A and B are shown apart, each in its own frame.
Chain A
Amino acid sequence: MFFRRYLIPRFIQYILVIFFGITAVFIIPRLLPNDPVMRTIGELRARGATLEPGAMDKIITDLTQMYGLEGSWFDQYIAFWQRLARGDLGVSFFQFPTPVSTLILTALPWTVGLLLTTTILAWIIGNVLGAFAGYYAGSRWSQALDGVAMVIRPMPYYIFAFALLLLFAYAVRWFPVSGGAKLGMQPGWNWAFIQSVLWHSFLPALSIAILGMAVWFQTMKLVVQSVVGESYVQYARLSGVTERKIVSRYVFRNALLPQITGLALSLGLIFSGALITEIVFSYPGLGTLLYRAIINGDYNLIMGITIFSIFAITTAVLIVDLIYPLFDPRIRYS
């Protein structure tokens, strides 16, 4: 039942979303009347890009192939998918001739590492604070925290990046303000490198986590407040269940469910993460890669990142949807 009524439609949807998303990426550059290859070449020339000899010819053939400009739109479309099926996203114009997939795979661990840890840390801290603030909703510190969250919450995430940068670059120099690790250091699984990475990621991580904590804090506080008022909690209290048991078994467990959904959804967003934070701190992740692609007009690279993100995000959300019943026994996908 679960299999036929839920799993199969969900899987069909997954395939369709990827299909339509990538089709959109195929169509967008073709919406404009002029030849995308010549436009790109023109843009490269206008920027005064200096290319290796012979690179231009290779770029033109590569572009013609990548955009699949031989034959009708239909032929082009088939060729586009064939290339994707081989995992071939073309080459970067700017860092010619590095394949786009190599660039993405180099930047990916940085972004995933940064956002995975900050998302989970912010989730834990925000929820713990929110749970206590919701349980002691009347107290003064709870209301003070709520007021702080009300101000932090509406801010765009990059405001904190700018603020921390100004503070730590000019006022106090406790932490490095740019890069992912010490310059010239060889990546590897040794303590010196890991230490350097953690040290460098402190400010970007903090700037992302501040906002995340405020968001989790607010929702957790609201949910705990409303669960405390539920009749089953009052019933448990009247039947003499100890307060400690009420809090751990009844209140927090019920309040945690919607938070797990939220965590799952925000994990899906990790891949397109905190673009501007990375730019502000010159952190070597996907965001900085995208930024460089934008300022250099590297359309191929942007297309590659978009296609990759479509795959990554839809897959992450699919996995989340499938494991969700493990957390909430009430959901049986009927």
Chain B
Amino acid sequence: MKVFRDLLRDYRFFWGFWILVMMLVFAGLSYFSPYDPTLWGEVPRDMRPSAEHWLGTDSNGQDIFWMATFAVRNSLTIALIAGLVSRVIAVTVGMVAGYLGGKSDRVLMFVSDSLLVIPLFLMIVLLAMLIRNSMNVVSLGLLLAIFGWAWDARLIRSQILSLRERDFTKTAVLSGTGTLRLVINEYMPYSTPLIFSTLINNMAWAIGLEITLAILGLLDLSIPTLGTMLYWAINYQAVLLGRWWWVLTPITLSILLFIALYWLSVSISEYLDPRRRVQRVGAA
């Protein structure tokens, strides 16, 4: 709790945190939506924002406000699936490589280095071309998870490398603590903030990639996400026809989301660096 209160002093953490909370509430509203997002023609098409339709309606005949609640929910779900599953991979790889060292370290780091150099985006496009129609929330999340762990595994590994050299590791090993218990009980508390900040970065990456793939038409376009909303808006020439409310809604929401996630992660990683933390707490 004290950590949290310290963090809230930073304007970036403060705003990032509250924007994210608002986004979650907004996404939660989708459960009370009066319209079914998968049906077209639920409301009159192309209406300007009004008292009845707060953010107007789109050319598919959907209310943009309620559509956006579903979009934020699905985009966040994709990001969470991608983030959490890739965390499992990144933490396992990072800890095994860092703790065991030697051959397993070399092999695992070779794999993650390779993933970092290979043009992942194109690989994902190749795959998505083939399974375009089954690119739903879960499969996209898993696909991004498989590709998005390499850099974070490296970060976690280097932290474990330094923890392994500390005295308490020797004390624990000599007093008969098993490897698994050592890692979970002793190393995890140190690594949690780092894992958390990489999770946030990874989620922002996943949302960005989801939007890119959707704009290219490589997702199941009947699922409302921030990306598919933009896809339909572009597809129906919403910009040229002056339907700004249709374009502006997903863009504003995604910008807010990106800023919130980035500020949270910057704030947390600065907090992790004690030298900078002293400066900040001293200044506050």
Give residues 91-127 of A contacting B (CB, 8 Å): none
Given A291-B216, A309-B119, decide whether A150 and B208 contact each other with a Cβ distance below 8 A: no
In the complex, how many angstroms separate the beta carbon of A126 from the nearest chain B beta carbon? 17
In the complex, how many angstroms separate the beta carbon of B158 from the nearest chain A beta carbon? 15
A20-B114 in contact (CB<8A):
yes
A17-B125 in contact (CB<8A):
no
B121-A303 in contact (CB<8A):
no
Given A28-B123, A297-B129, decide whether A314 and B258 contact each other with a Cβ distance below 8 A: no
In the complex, how many angstroms separate the beta carbon of A177 from the nearest chain B beta carbon? 12
Residues of A contacting B129 in the complex (Cβ-Cβ under 8 angstroms): 294, 297, 299, 302
Q: Which residue of B lies closest to A291 (CB)?
A: B216
Give residues 87-141 of B contacting A (CB, 8 Å): 110, 113-114, 117-119, 121-123, 125-127, 129-131
Give residues 212-259 of B contacting A (CB, 8 Å): 212, 215-218, 239, 251, 254-255, 258-259
Stretch of A70-78, A158-166, A199-207, A236-244 at the chain-chain interface: A158-166
A302-B125 in contact (CB<8A):
yes
Given A16-B110, A154-B262, A294-B129, decide whether A21 and B12 contact each other with a Cβ distance below 8 A: no
Given A150-B12, A154-B259, A272-B121, decide whether A21 and B114 contact each other with a Cβ distance below 8 A: yes
Residues of B contacting A291 in the complex (Cβ-Cβ under 8 angstroms): 216
Q: Which residue of A lies closest to B260 (CB)?
A: A154
B204-A154 in contact (CB<8A):
yes
Given A28-B127, A275-B212, decide whether A309 and B122 contact each other with a Cβ distance below 8 A: yes
Residues of B contacting A323 in the complex (Cβ-Cβ under 8 angstroms): none
B119-A313 in contact (CB<8A):
yes
A10-51 to B contact mask, C-beta < 8 Å, 1/0:
000100110011001100110110000000000000000000
Residues of B contacting A24 in the complex (Cβ-Cβ under 8 angstroms): 118, 123
Given A28-B127, A153-B262, A156-B258, decide whether A310 and B119 contact each other with a Cβ distance below 8 A: yes
Q: How distant is the Cα of A297 from the Cα of B128 in the complex, in angstroms?
A: 11
Answer whether residue A180 sits at the interface, using C-beta atoms and an 8 A cutoff.
no
Answer whether residue B211 sits at the interface, using C-beta atoms and an 8 A cutoff.
yes
B127-A306 in contact (CB<8A):
no
Answer whether residue B263 sits at the interface, using C-beta atoms and an 8 A cutoff.
yes
Residues of A contacting B118 in the complex (Cβ-Cβ under 8 angstroms): 17, 21, 24, 310, 313-314
Q: How distant is the Cα of A302 from the Cα of B131 in the complex, in angstroms?
A: 15
In the complex, how many angstroms separate the beta carbon of A309 from the nearest chain B beta carbon? 4
Residues of A contacting B119 in the complex (Cβ-Cβ under 8 angstroms): 271-272, 306, 309-310, 313
Residues of A contacting B121 in the complex (Cβ-Cβ under 8 angstroms): 272, 275
In the complex, how many angstroms separate the beta carbon of A178 from the nearest chain B beta carbon? 13
B117-A268 in contact (CB<8A):
yes
In the complex, how many angstroms separate the beta carbon of B98 from the nearest chain A beta carbon? 20
B130-A306 in contact (CB<8A):
no
In the complex, how many angstroms separate the beta carbon of A204 from the nearest chain B beta carbon? 16
Q: Is the interface of B mostly helix, strand, loop or mixed?
A: helix
Q: How distant is the Cα of A28 from the Cα of B114 in the complex, in angstroms?
A: 17
Q: How distant is the Cα of A159 from the Cα of B239 in the complex, in angstroms?
A: 14
Residues of B contacting A310 in the complex (Cβ-Cβ under 8 angstroms): 118-119
Q: CB < 8 Å: which of B12, B217, B251, B263 contacts A162? A: B251
Q: CB < 8 Å: which of A156, A305, A313 contacts B211? A: A156
A166-B123 in contact (CB<8A):
no
B212-A276 in contact (CB<8A):
yes
Q: How distant is the Cα of A25 from the Cα of B123 in the complex, in angstroms?
A: 7
Q: CB < 8 Å: which of B215, B239, B266 contacts A166? A: B239
Answer whether residue A172 sits at the interface, using C-beta atoms and an 8 A cutoff.
no
Residues of A contacting B262 in the complex (Cβ-Cβ under 8 angstroms): 153-154
Q: Which residue of B lies closest to A226 (CB)?
A: B275
Q: How distant is the Cα of A158 from the Cα of B213 in the complex, in angstroms?
A: 13
A16-B217 in contact (CB<8A):
no
Answer whether residue A85 sits at the interface, using C-beta atoms and an 8 A cutoff.
no
Q: How distant is the Cα of A155 from the Cα of B255 in the complex, in angstroms?
A: 6
B126-A317 in contact (CB<8A):
no
Residues of A contacting B114 in the complex (Cβ-Cβ under 8 angstroms): 13, 16-17, 20-21
In the complex, how many angstroms separate the beta carbon of B280 from the nearest chain A beta carbon? 13
Residues of A contacting B131 in the complex (Cβ-Cβ under 8 angstroms): 32
Residues of A contacting B208 in the complex (Cβ-Cβ under 8 angstroms): 156
Q: Which residues of B contact A (CB under 8 A)?
A: 12, 110, 113-114, 117-119, 121-123, 125-127, 129-131, 204, 208, 211-212, 215-218, 239, 251, 254-255, 258-259, 261-263, 266
Cross-chain pairs A/B with CB under 8 angstroms, 28 sampled = A13-B110, A13-B114, A17-B118, A21-B114, A24-B118, A28-B126, A28-B127, A29-B130, A31-B130, A32-B130, A153-B262, A154-B259, A154-B262, A156-B208, A156-B254, A156-B258, A275-B212, A295-B217, A297-B129, A302-B122, A302-B125, A302-B126, A303-B126, A305-B122, A306-B125, A310-B119, A313-B117, A317-B117
Q: Which residues of A contact B (CB under 8 A)?
A: 13, 16-17, 20-21, 24-25, 28-29, 31-32, 150-151, 153-156, 158-159, 162, 166, 268, 271-272, 275-276, 290-291, 294-295, 297, 299, 302-303, 305-306, 309-310, 313-314, 317
Q: List the 8 shortest-distance A-B pairs measured between CB atoms, nearest first.
A: A154-B262, A306-B122, A309-B119, A154-B258, A17-B114, A272-B119, A156-B208, A21-B118
